[in-house]
Structure 1
């Protein structure tokens, strides 16, 4: 072959390969050598942590009359002092409410106790949810905790939410129905994987399993190619949402083995179940409250996934805790509180104690990594 042709082919191949992952890379070894635990990060894609907004005014000391003693119709934060209740309400207008509306986004200014606005009913349920996350899901949020700002970032509706995809509930047709696949979607890394893994794993209780613990086929572990693709699609979402690769949680020697995995895998395990709890027991229970513009094409409310909080960072907001600005959001848990509308959602026993959250194929990570 002509020397110039060979050089041209080599240069073209190098250019094509370089085009797959352009830019500088940063490599960090996160485990013992030879264990395949290494993080490789595209420096140009590192997300900056969002700016933490200042408090509306200094947090007042606790004590004095409670919110329930001072105001009418305070159903969640009644035991909080009125001064700290006012401080939290002022913070929430910065974290959630549109600037031009402020308090009026949830309240009737002529009757602050009124529940006539759906946004107030939703906000009350979200306060219950936030207190539950901080008190019952420390297995995921640790001591950092969450506030309204963790998801909302100054928006009335968080920027990263999801609802059932357009064709998700239309299994009766073949022509023109891609079954959720072969559509470039950032949720699954623009792959041909199912672009809506959330319905199965973040709303339902789909079993996220691909690798068996046995060499030969077993009736105890039957995973179809379709199910495997959904699982991979979910993992692509988690990877993108946290800005990490697979070995942030898994050991590439055995993706299944918990005793070889990093502690982060246990945190992620509880995070998936926390998201299910939020979507099932707090957001879906408000389906009849949300107006049509707050619902997806199939009429289900917009729900949360990993990107809602993380937004490209392994730790939301870069790991900065805002809970000191809003101590009333620490708890106590509100899992047993009934939704504002409709019958109380059944709360599985497993959600009451994260240490009990197991399934038939995987040990509780509380005993492995915590």
Structure 2
């Protein structure tokens, strides 16, 4: 009898914590919904004005400096070791160097990428990384218009004033939760990467590297006739949760509630997302991933790979990075150089 009161108090306290945590999983009012399909089908997007205001404030584009003249001497005629931007005029070159510094290393300044006193040197690994990133930006602006259209990207799209973008990922050791929640499939850890769900917490290594297709449905209605496992479905669902969070949307932004799979019943953004996933794979496989060979240990993940990109790296909570600001229009220096 003497233990009943403490036990009851502990039960009430636990129940109170459960209610508090449950409430955190729901949007706090006011919540607004916008219908994007036939009424009664759940084809709606939900927005919270309180959260939306903060998102819009974080996705404002810095004011572009005045355009630079393309006339005059070329940068390669004045400066040493400028293989990528040497075709620019001196004024254009100075302008793009200034904004790149503000976008990526505003605190360190020029010495964030250059060797102090010897700007021509390649001894600073960050300069080698920056050179590869310029190539990547050009590649996106010219080779992936199926995803970025004519809006384009710049260093600021991802970096936002940070030497390393806020939203990046790396492969992690295959370890699930411990104790009663233990799982052999990297599950039940409640990681933010999958919306704090019990799904496998690394949805990126399978689908944002290499060329593995994202598939859930098999060719027959029987489980024995499909090559796609339950584990595969869980990983795909984790990726979709991450993608939804990255863009600040729900499933019906791309899919039709009546039938998620058929392309002819999907919404237009699904095709844009299809190209976006393949673009991310291309960037990780050919630009970001190979940087592991020159990056120091503190710029790599726990397994030694480079910190790589996903949809959140650019989008950062909105369906169009920087609210669709036409970045490339103000920075033509980051388009491909003119043919020679």
| TM-score bin (small chain) | 0.7 to 0.9
Alignment size in residue pairs: 312
Larger helix percent: 2
Partners of 1:202 and 1:230 lie apart in 2 by: 12
Do residues 147 (structure 1) and 147 (structure 2) align? no
Check whether the contact 1:36–1:251 (CA below 8 A) recurs between aligned residues. no
The range that moved more, 203-212 or 277-286, is 203-212
**1:213: how far off?**
5.8
Matches within 5 A, 1:1-370: 19=23, 20-21=25-26, 22-33=28-39, 36-46=42-52, 47-48=55-56, 49-55=58-64, 57-99=65-107, 101-167=108-174, 178-212=184-218, 214-216=220-222, 219=225, 221-331=226-336
Structure 1 unmatched runs, 5+: 1-11, 334-370
Cα deviation digits, residues 83-131 of structure 1 (max 9, x gap): 21111000011000142x2111111232211101000000000000000
Check whether the contact 1:132–1:332 (CA below 8 A) recurs between aligned residues. no
Partners of 2:61 and 2:123 lie apart in 1 by: 32
Alignment correspondent of 2:12: none
Provide the secondary structure at the position in 2 that maps to 1:196: coil
Check whether the contact 1:95–1:153 (CA below 8 A) recurs between aligned residues. yes
Check whether the contact 1:139–1:270 (CA below 8 A) recurs between aligned residues. yes
Check whether the contact 1:27–1:41 (CA below 8 A) recurs between aligned residues. yes
Provide the secondary structure at the position in 2 that maps to 1:39: strand
Cα deviation digits, residues 309-364 of structure 1 (max 9, x gap): 1111011111112223311112259xxxxxxxxxxxxxxxxxxxxxxxxxxxxxxx
Check whether the contact 2:60–2:323 (CA below 8 A) recurs between aligned residues. no
**1:285: how far off?**
1.3
Structure 2 unmatched runs, 5+: 1-15
**1:73: how far off?**
1.1
Provide the secondary structure at the position in 2 that maps to 1:203: coil
Partners of 1:112 and 1:76 lie apart in 2 by: 15
Partners of 2:290 and 2:210 lie apart in 1 by: 14
Partners of 2:74 and 2:210 lie apart in 1 by: 39
- Give the TM-score taking structure 1 as reference length: 0.78
Check whether the contact 1:162–1:302 (CA below 8 A) recurs between aligned residues. yes
Provide the secondary structure at the position in 1 that maps to 2:216: coil
